[in-house]
Every structure is written in structure tokens, then in C-alpha cells.
Amino acid sequence: MRCPGCGTEVSPARQSCPLCHALIHAEELKQLAREAEEAEADRPADALNAWRSALELLPPESGQARTIAQRAEALSRRVETGGGSSAGGESRGLRSAWKGGGVVAVLAFILTKAKFLLLGLTKIGTLGTMLLSLGVYWSIFGWRLALGLILSIYVHEMGHVAALHRLGFPASAPTFIPGLGAFIRLKQRPVSPREDARVGLAGPIWGLGAALVAWGVHLAGGGPIWAAVARLGAWINLFNLLPLGPLDGGRAFGALSKGQRVALVVWIGGVWYFVREGLLILLLLGAVFWLFNPRKAAADAPEEDRLAFFQYAGLVAVLAALTALKVPGAP
């Protein structure tokens, strides 16, 4: 490419000219700004996607980048509270389903996500790596439990993808690593602890939904294999709540204040007292580590994230309870 200011030949990967410091992608930035402003009124998620695409074309230290980042953060909060976004529609739909018919209606609402879940399976990379992982788990657990495990992991990862799309971040469908799990590829990472917590906790929330559906099928006469799938899926999602490194629990803890973290230490200990799930001891140790590690303590969020706090606490309790369920025929 050539710099629009001085004509110097530059790499397309650069955001500004090294000689005259003009923006290399000025015209594309103007187009993205127009698209974002047109979409902000009734399509804030699309506006977020455009603003985040613009951030990729700007020097991170520039005033324009800081202004757009602030605008994206405000839009992100609007999406979260339901200001004309799909997120708000989902929340209202879930509340309406609960009022209209209780647990059965909620499960029906969850099943309406089937179309979105099927979209991921149209990607060759996702389907191919999923089949490879299925073969590995099949050799260990048998095909029925292996299939249930693969689907549990897939639903968990698609929860992350859904949250990323809702917040305007481009993300790939899941790629499986046989024997290790799955991951999604990002062009951009969430820019605030709050967004990181929303994306991180979306995986266990969707994973919990999958476990509840599996347990419901078992109660409806589907056989003990569905109980085993529910219990194994709950354990995997509980493991992901470990408040360590890049795991979902670590991303949630990054958005919490010190007081909230202390409260969760007490909460996890209480849940362990009643459930006696050994994995909760690891969660408890990880939470204590956050409190006494100087580097982690210095990263206390400037404001409390009440939604992340209650989501994390609720997930710990419900997932731990599911891991304690008895599987017919199991020792």
C-alpha cells in the first residue's frame, strides 16, 4: 500500500505512515465509522463490530483509538442491559418462558438455540477436529459417553462464541484438540475485565444448560447414559471455573473486587461442606491464591461486577450439585 499523505510504500499491517504519520487506512476508517453510527440506534451489536474493526486499523496509543474504545465500552454496557440488542431479547425471553411454563418452558427456550449451535457444525475445521476427538474419547469411554462429552464441550465453546458475537467481537467456531478439549480463535480480546467476565462465564452457563438438558432426558426415561453425560458435563464446566490463568474462572475473578472475592471463598467453602465435591477444594485454593498473591491483589477491579459475582456463585452451586447426582449402575 501507499500512504495517502506522502505516497510512501508501506505494509498493510501498519496503522500509520512511519514518515508523515498519516493514517494508512483513513478511508476504511471513515466507512466503518459511518456504518457504526448508522447501526447504533437499533443494532448496537453491529455497531460494536464496526467500532472494534476500526480499532484494529488505529495505533493503540492514538487519541482516536482511546475515543473509539470508550464508545465501544459504552455500547457494550448498553448491549448487556438490553438496549435494543439480542442480549436483552434473550434475557426477556428467558424470563417470559419461566413465567409462562416453568422448567419445561425454560428448557424449550434453551432448545431454540439449536439453530445457532448447528451453524458451528457447518465449519469443516470444527466438524473434522470434533470427529478426531470423538475417536479418541470413544476408545476410552465408549461411543455414547464419548459423544455426550464432545457435545458438552461443543456447547460450552459455542457459549463463548455467542457472547463474543453479542459484544461485537469476531470469533471462529470451535477447534477441538483430541484429548485436551477445544478452543476458539480471536482477532481481538475483550478490552475490559467486565467484558472478559461476560465472555468467560458464557461457556459454563451454556454448559450448564447442556447438562440440565441431559439430566432431563435421563429423567424422561432416556437411560443412565444421559445421567452420566450430565454429571461429566457438569464436572468439566465446574473445572473451568477454577480461578486460574486463562480458565473461565480466572476471567471472572479479574472483574471482581477484593470483597467479592472474599465472599466467594466463603461461598465455595460452604458449597463444599454440603456437596463434598473434591474439585471444590481446588476452586477454594485458587480463590485464596487470588487474595494473597500480590500481583493478583493489585489487579482488583475498580468497581464491583455484581452480575459476574452472582453468575459465578450460582454456577458453582448448581454445577457442584449436578456432580453429586447418582448415576444408576455406577459405583
Rounded CA gap, 252 and 200, in Å? 7
- The ranges assigned to domains in the chain are 26-80, 86-323
Burial of 152 (0-12, 13-18, 19+ CB in 10 A): buried
Tens place of pLDDT per residue across the chain (331 aa) = 776 777 677 777 676 766 666 676 777 777 878 777 777 777 777 777 777 777 777 777 777 778 877 777 777 777 776 654 444 444 444 444 344 444 454 455 455 566 777 777 788 888 889 999 999 989 888 888 899 899 999 999 999 998 888 888 878 889 998 878 888 887 777 778 888 899 999 999 999 999 998 998 888 888 889 999 999 999 999 999 999 878 999 999 988 988 899 999 999 999 999 999 999 999 999 999 888 876 665 555 556 788 999 999 999 999 999 998 887 765 5
Q: What's this model's pTM, rounded to 2 decimal places? A: 0.78
Q: Which amino acid is at 7?
A: G
Helix axes 63-81, 86-111, angle to 10 degrees: 50
- The answer to whether 150 and 134 have CB atoms below 8 angstroms apart is yes
Exposure string (b/e) for 190-205, b if CB count within 10 Å is 16 or more? Answer: bbbbbbbbbbbbbbbb
Q: Which residues contact 30 (CB under 8 A, 6 or more apart)?
A: none
Segments in 40-85 forming alpha helices (H): 44-56, 63-81
